[in-house]
């Protein structure tokens, strides 16, 4: 049973992010203003968030446009799938993702590449910033933003990628000098340095 719940949580989160029921009421985000301030302070007190790397304004935007909508959908999903399980708090949810700050260990040796482009996003996709870090084991690089022409290359986990976002329908892609990669927060996250 202990192995089933984390698997359900992971699968559910992925489905929620990718699903079409991602519309989140703006009032839900506004209810978290005090929590966001407190979470930012906790992240700073723990030495994870540094004002130089991530200002409060950047953290606020990330929380309101990416983290809180995902959190609200995750909460709704868990209420349906495991109604007797104690809900996770926004603070716990954010802490589990290292306060939205990429964790780079001394052994990571990140690779930096450059890029160009522009774009917007629905909340499960990043929309601003110029550096991303690969969260999954690897992400494929494509020749085109429709992801129909795969290159024979990929970026490995913890690779730092420089570039810009390009619009692709209702989502964005991230254009690098080697091609296009996903901007889905399930696979990548923003770097603030």
What's the pLDDT tens digit per position in 140-172? Answer: 999 998 898 989 899 998 899 999 988 887 788
pTM: 0.43
Q: Which of 22, 43, 68 is nearest to 192 (CA)?
A: 43
Whole-number pLDDT of residue 142: 93
Q: Does 175 have pLDDT greater than 60?
A: yes
**Biggest alpha carbon–alpha carbon distance for the chain:** 49
pLDDT tens digits, one per residue of 61-118: 888 888 888 888 878 877 887 778 788 888 888 877 777 766 655 555 554 443 433 4
Report, as an integer, the average pLDDT of 12-38.
55
Neighbours of 54 (CB within 10 A): 22
d(CA 39, CA 71): 14
- Pair 160, 191: CB distance under 8 Å: yes
């Amino acid at each position: 049973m202990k192995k089933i719940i984390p698997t359900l949580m992971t699968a559910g989160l992925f489905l929620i992010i990718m699903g079409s029921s991602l519309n989140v009421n703006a009032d839900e985000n506004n209810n978290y203003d005090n929590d966001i301030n407190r979470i930012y302070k906790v992240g700073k007190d723990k030495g994870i968030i540094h004002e130089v790397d991530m200002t409060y304004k950047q953290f606020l935007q990330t929380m309101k446009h990416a983290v809180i909508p995902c959190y609200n959908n995750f909460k709704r999903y868990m209420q349906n799938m495991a109604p007797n399980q104690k809900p996770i708090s926004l603070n716990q949810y954010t802490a589990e993702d290292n306060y939205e700050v990429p964790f780079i260990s001394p052994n990571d040796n990140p690779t930096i590449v450059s890029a160009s482009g522009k774009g917007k996003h629905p909340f499960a996709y990043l929309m601003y910033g110029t550096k991303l870090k690969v969260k999954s084991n690897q992400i494929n690089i494509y020749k085109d933003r429709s992801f129909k022409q795969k290159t024979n290359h990929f970026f490995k986990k913890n690779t730092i990628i420089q570039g810009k976002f390009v619009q692709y329908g209702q989502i964005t892609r991230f254009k690098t000098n080697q091609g296009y990669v996903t901007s889905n927060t399930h696979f990548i996250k923003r770097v603030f340095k």
